[in-house]
Each structure stands twice: as structure tokens, then as C-alpha cells.
Copies of this chain bind each other. A is one copy, B any other.
Amino acid sequence: MAVQTVAGNATTAPVDLGPAAALSCRECGERFELGPLFACASCFGPLEVAYDLPTGSPEELRKRIEAGPDNIWRYAPLLPVPADVADKPNLNPGFTKLVKADNLARELGVTGGLYVKDDSGNPTHSFKDRVVAIAVEAARAFGFTTLSCSSTGNLAGAVGAAAARAGLRSCVFIPHDLEQGKVVMAAVYGGELVGIEGNYDDVNRFCSELIGDPLGEGWGFVNVNLRPYYGEGSKTLAYEICEQLGWRLPDQIVIPIASGSQLTKIDKGLQELIKLGLVEDRPYKIFGAQAEGCSPVSAAFKGGHDVVRPQKPNTIAKSLAIGNPADGPYVLDIARRTGGAVEDVTDEQVVDAIKLLARTEGIFGETAGGVTLGVTKKLIEAGVIDPTLTTVVVNTGDGLKTLDAVSATSQATATIKPSLDAFRAAGLGTA
């Protein structure tokens, strides 16, 4: 395989992204030199990072990882980042809690071990900190001085915060009519925040134009020209889950689908662990979760199709509301190959699942977490997820960012005057 030389690199220094060896086309396999590229020059297929993975015994590698920092940089030997990444200023996301959810397991009748991987514990409280942290290293390697993205929420905050800490300029693009809370969260880190008159698709289209224009010179768009690197951050969810299970694959794992990237990268991470001998090679099933109001991948899975037909999103799970998910076909492949499934739930089931998780485990997840747990419940009830096997549910974000979803049904039980008589009359208390 010939390695092609690429232009568009803002620096001439040799690129050191650790074990990352090249970019490789997921469709035709053609390889390209590491650079700010995202589509194959030959077939327009998506590019992903190819590695020279570490050699040596699994025992040595496990020890090396376990001796690392309590964040994603413990996996630096498996990521497109330089070896000294942990010494640079960044937000150090990851190594979030894998909660053994015994209360929830009892309610759902799961006996094989139920776990919630709770990514609300990341610095800006969503899994986006993982992917952005990797994109920051790519931006540094390519000499970019501005970090940018199109976003409707979680990503905007993650990019703003990471850029601030890294000493990069940031410029984030959002639809102009975003909820005030999300605007504040995106603006508080002090970067440029530009409202675009239009919807999220208009924002995206504008960003693609900007990348090709001198106005965007030196800009790293984490989810466009840095996307191959950015996406690799999701692999760390797979690494952490297995390490936290005692270097063991889960039997079943349920993952939300927006673009589908996270699910495909978790699968990639699991495959790498097997290849490296860090976990025993045995079957695992991957399940994808969508909201009914934006369920193109679920519809294709259930219809037995290979093609994902775009939908116009209409769901409270806005962080998953991508009607034309780029990685949809890969998700279908993975679900089918592993014997998993893709399913969807209604907005009402999303709200119920958010409250179920909060009530049983004290974890307040965002709507995406509600989608994932809702689908888990549905698939257990349908006999598709086996309750006697180890199951991991990924909660990708924080309920504080989607308060509106539960506000109608999460209110005070009673309002009373400050007296014991009023308390007694309300039927509260022990006696």
C-alpha cells in the first residue's frame, strides 16, 4: 500500500501522533499520510487512523496502562497522540465510573451483572470531552491555532473548554435559535461563538465551506477535518469498560446512536483489545439505541435493509437527532455481525428511563442516556438482551443539560406550611 503525501498541513515539522501510522480508507483501504484529511481521495470513503500497535506481552502492556494516569491518557499507546500527551495542558477526560447497578438490575430482572458506564463524570459532563481531547492533539500536531466545530450543545461546551485549557483560540458555530442555557455553556469559556441563521444542517454546510476558504486557514474543525482523530476518542470507552471489568469483555453492550461513530469506535476498541491479547477473545453483542423520533438506523435494522434512509428528526433526545447518520451502515454491520440489534423508544419511554436510572442508582443522565436505558429495558423484555449475561449500558451525558425533558414530571411531592400539623395532614412522615 502506497502512502500518499498530502498538502493542507499547516506545519512542516514531522507529525508525531504516537502509534498512529497513517490514515486509511474504510471503504477501499488506501492509505494516506497523517494530516487534516477526512475523505479518501480515490473513493470519497471515510478515513480512519491506522496504527502500529505496541508489541510485547499483554501482561507488560496491562501493567503499563494500569500505572498510567486516571484518565484516557493511560491508553496513549493505543491512541493517535504523542507519548508525552499527559504532560500538556488538557482537560484529562475519561476513566469515568463503571457503576455496578444492582438496584437497576433487580428492577429489570438482570442477574448476570448490569453496569452503567457513566460519562457524565467527564470535565464538561459528556463523552464529547474524550473525542475533543484527541482532536486537540491532532490540532497541535498539524499546527492549527483555532479549534472549531458545528454543534447544538455538548460539543460546543467541550470544544470551548478544551481550547481554553490548551491555549488555543476557539470558534464554535451554532444555530442562532439554540436554547439560552446551551448558548451560555458554549460562550462562558470565552471563545468566539457564532450563531448561524439557519438550522444545524445550514451550520454544517457553512463549516464545510469555511474549511476550503482562506478565512478558515489554520482552523481545526474537530468534527470535520480532524474527524478521523476525534472519532478515535470513543475507543477509550471500550478500553475502560474492559479494564474496569477486570480486563474482560462484557457479553452485551448498549450504545446510543447519533452519527453512529461512537458505536463503531467502541467496536474497534474491543477488537484491538482482543488483537493485543489484553482480553480473552470471546463473543460479545453490540446493541444500538435510538429515539423513535430519529430512528433511521433502527428502521433499517428492523427492515433488514443495508441502506439507511434519512429521517427528519423530531425527538427530545436532541444530542442524538441526526437524521442522516454518517456511520449508519457500519452500525448495521456491527449489530448484525455480533448478533446484537438496533432498537428505538418513544420520548415517553426516554423520560421514564431517565427517572428509572435516577431513582435506582442516583445517576441523572441526559436524554441520550434515557434512550439507551429505555432500549435496554425494551430489549430485555423482548428477550433479545439476555438477562443472565453481563450487560453494560453507556450513559453519555448529564441530565443537568436536558432538564426540560423531566421538568413536567419531577416536581415537589407536596407544598405545606412549616408546621407538624400540616406535615401530618399531608400524609407524610413515619408515624
Contacts and interface: CB of A to CB of B under 8 A. Distances in A.
A336 interface: no
A416 B180 contact: no
A412 B92 contact: no
B362 A160 contact: yes
A426 B183 CA distance: 19
A79 B167 CA distance: 40
**How many copies of this chain sit in the oligomeric assembly?**
2
A205 B407 contact: no
Contact of A185 (B188, B403, B431): B403
A218 B430 contact: yes
A429 to B, nearest CB: 4
Given A103-B165, A125-B400, A174-B412, A215 B431 contact: yes
Nearest to A194: B414
Which of under 10, 10 to 19, 20 to 34, or 35 or more describes the interface residues of A? 35 or more
A210 B358 CA distance: 27
Contact of A362 (B123, B205, B416): B123
Contacts of A317: none
Contacts of A354: 188
B430 A194 contact: no
A350 to B, nearest CB: 13
Interface of A: 70, 89, 91-92, 95, 97, 102-103, 121, 123-125, 146, 157, 160-165, 167, 171, 174, 176, 180-181, 183-185, 187-190, 192-198, 202-203, 205-206, 209-210, 213-219, 354-355, 358-364, 398-401, 403, 406-407, 410-420, 423-424, 426, 428-431
A5 B286 CA distance: 58
Grouping DSSP codes into helix (H, G, I), strand (E, B) and loop, the A interface class, with mixed when no group exceeds half, is mixed
25 contacts: A123-B363, A124-B364, A146-B430, A162-B362, A164-B359, A165-B361, A174-B412, A180-B407, A183-B411, A185-B403, A187-B413, A188-B358, A189-B362, A189-B364, A192-B413, A192-B428, A193-B412, A194-B416, A196-B416, A197-B415, A203-B418, A206-B423, A214-B431, A216-B429, A398-B400
B188 A364 contact: yes
A412 B190 contact: no
Contacts of A184: 403, 406-407, 410-411
Given A89-B102, A210-B429, A183 B410 contact: yes
Nearest to A354: B188
B430 A188 contact: no
A103 B167 contact: yes
A185 B364 contact: yes
A160 B399 CA distance: 14
B215 A424 contact: yes
